[in-house]
Amino acid sequence: MAEQGMCSRREADAFIERGWVRVDGVVVSELGSKAWPNQKITLERQARQRQQERITILLNKPVGYVSGQAEKGYRWAAALIRPETRYRNDRSPLKFDPSHLRGLAPAGRLDIDSQGLLILTQDGRIARQLIGEDSEIEKEYLVRVQGKLGASGLALLNHGLVLDGKKLRPAHVTWQNEDQLRFILNEGRKRQIRRMCEQVGLKVVGLKRVRMGRIVLGDLPSGQWRYLKEGERFF
């Protein structure tokens, strides 16, 4: 079910325990049951309704906030999700409710020194789309740098670098202006862009994520948020 993008593994277990999963029309009741690729997996109405109630939030994270749970005195980005910080042009009909913060988790982190589009979601399907091992969703960043890039530096940023003993996937890196690069990646290693730049003699002095798949940061102000609208998709 997770491989087909129907839900997360945790959700799949919960749905099976409740009898909300069918394979070729037969209810599955045992955790760990397997289905062949040619078999049809369906969810009962209760499971689909539960998924529709999952909340996804787009936040323009400022520098100085951590994406995950706060630690060592750092501020958690989700603490910015309050009625008074909601974007005034948010077109979603949803009304803010404290339950929308329950189980909210980042799908694609931004480190404390970075800013821009942060996706926080209760929906395991969206998390898998964005950060699953097989995810092909593009992430776009504007990166301000200092230093001099050698003759082969830009080519290496696009393809040829290694992090933690593993080759990076091909990227699309271009100059935006004289001191800013545009990175388009479809993977997300820890502090990847900063470490890539270090390898070619550049220092990152500013990093902003502006897009994840088809969802763009747009004019969402720093420190404000909005709901992912019905019909909006990452791919």
**Half-sphere exposure of residue 163: CA atoms within 13 angstroms, side-chain side:** 20
Calpha distance 145→74 (Å, rounded): 25
200, 187 in Cβ contact below 8 A? no
Transcribe 98-167 into DSSP letters. GGGGTT-EESS---TT-EEEEEEES-HHHHHHHHSTT----EEEEEEEES---TTHHHHHHTT-EETTEE
Q: Using the 8-state DSSP alphabet, how is residue 84 labeled?
A: G
217, 118 in Cβ contact below 8 A? no
Say whether 72 sits in a helix, a strand or coil.
Answer: coil
Please indicate whether residue 111 is annotated as part of the active site. Answer: yes
φ, ψ of residue 109 in degrees (nearest 5): -80, 155
Using only the alpha carbons of the chain, give its radius of gyration: 20
Instruction: State the angle between helix axes of 9-17 and 45-52 in degrees (0 to 180), rounded to the nearest 10.
Output: 140
Calpha distance 121→97 (Å, rounded): 14
Calpha distance 93→147 (Å, rounded): 47
Catalytic one of 97, 111, 134, 164: 111
Catalytic residues: 111
